[in-house]
Amino acid sequence: MTRAAPAHADFRSKAFLRGHIRHTMAFYHPRCIDPAGGFFHYFKDDGSVYDASHRHLVSSTRFVFNYATAALEFGGDDPALREEYLHAVRHGLAFLRERHLDPDSGGYFWTLRDGAPEDTTQHCYGAAFVLLAYSIALKAGVEECRTWMAAHWDLLDTRYWEPGPGLYRDEATRDWEFSGYRGQNANMHMCEAMLAAFEASREPRYLQRALLLADHMTRRQAAQCDGLVWEHYDADWQVDTDYHRDDPKHLFRPWGFQPGHQTEWSKLLLILDGHLRQAGTPADWLVPRARELFDRAVDAAWDPEFGGLMYGFAPEALRKEVPGPSLPDGRHFICDDDKYFWVQAESLACAARLAAATGDTRYWDWYDRLWDYAWRHLVDHTHGAWYRILDRENRKHDDEKSPAGKTDYHTMGACHDVLAVLRGRG
């Protein structure tokens, strides 16, 4: 279903990207700020809040990211706006420190209800976003975050890090009893957070850890699955193809290959490549690996009939056991044909970085194709922000635009990414 979309400037123009960030921020600011502490996390399409009492660690940290990056982008133009956004950053950090931080375990509560702990599971995925929030806030000038980042590094190394495989464990009880589940998603976002921590602090340990995570996940672990990154592993870091096989649409841990995670890893490899080249220590495998992950993901998941990248596809060896629909030609064996906002956003940011890193203009073609799809189907031109999820034919499932976890961190983050590329800082 094609929605009426206004004309737009060149998707590759800085003015367009900055305007889109402003338009998206206007959906959340200031209505997302809870004067009693933190941010509201649940928004309908029109911006109305439909659950005012629940808090999720992922949203609490991502809102800090949103405000800090906006302060960095627009603060030079408008000092008053910069202070307004930085006030929101500090407001969010205070809630993170006072409510999410667990004084007993030293970790962070996953969810809260009416300000009290609800789910006390210690998720590495959440811990990655804590580091990201501290890092971006430090970059924006909140100096207290430097000490908090150092303490968080110690927590990560003491509790989550597994020196043998050189990856992070995934989830534990409040008493730090870990389950046998291991996942790539937490390690991918930890790589992202380490890169942000390096950019904010210039401490080499963060860059070294990011490189180690990238190497182990996108080369060693991917070698178990014909070169693509699988989502789920057992305690020995062996691929677990049964995990959530019966629940391929699980929000945080879906079954199948995730095209969006292949392209997100590709983007991180390119950011790594830039930092290592600047440091005079390039790794020659990063750009070729980034190209392969992106190329294979879009080849498998692009919908030739309705446009957009679909959410999940099956491994070659399991194609006869796919639990969901496949494309009519039978080539791709899609196990989830929904169109998620974040998959398109991360992929277009990756395409821009690939175009800059390789000089190959077909990646700009992919960038324009992805933006055109998002502009016509996912961007809410009336209220602002992006719709969260569409079915294969680009119809909305519901009117919940931004439940806990979304915050449009991916969409605005993609615009910031592309702006960095256009400014030669990619």
In which element (H, E) is residue 259 found? helix 259-278
407: left (phi over 0), alpha (psi -120 to 50) or beta: left
| First-to-last C-alpha distance (Å) of the chain | 35
Token readout for 4 is 């009426």
- Rounded Cα distance, 305 and 379, in Å: 20
- Rounded Cα distance, 271 and 367, in Å: 17
Q: Which of 20, 29, 91, 410 is catalytic?
A: 410
b/e code 280-289 from CB counts within 10 Å (16+ = b): eeeeeebbeb
In which element (H, E) is residue 343 found? helix 341-358
Which string of DSSP letters, residue by residue, matches 36-105? TSSB---EETTS-BS-SSEEEHHHHHHHHHHHHHHHHHHTTT-HHHHHHHHHHHHHHHHHIIIIIB-TTT
Q: Which of 29, 100, 261, 332 is catalytic?
A: 261
261 included as an active-site residue? yes
Number of neighbours of residue 2 by Cβ within 10 angstroms: 9
3-state secondary structure of 157: helix
232 included as an active-site residue? no
What DSSP character marks residue 4?
P
What's the angle, vertex CA 81, arms to CA 79 and CA 71, rounded to 5? 85
98 burial level (CB within 10 Å; 0-12, 13-18, 19+): exposed
- Provide the residue type at 418 as one letter: V
Q: Tell me which residue of 15, 20, 111 sits closest to 57, measured CA to CA.
A: 111
Q: Which residues contact 119 (CB under 8 A, 6 or more apart)?
A: 109, 110, 111
Active-site annotation, residues:
261, 410
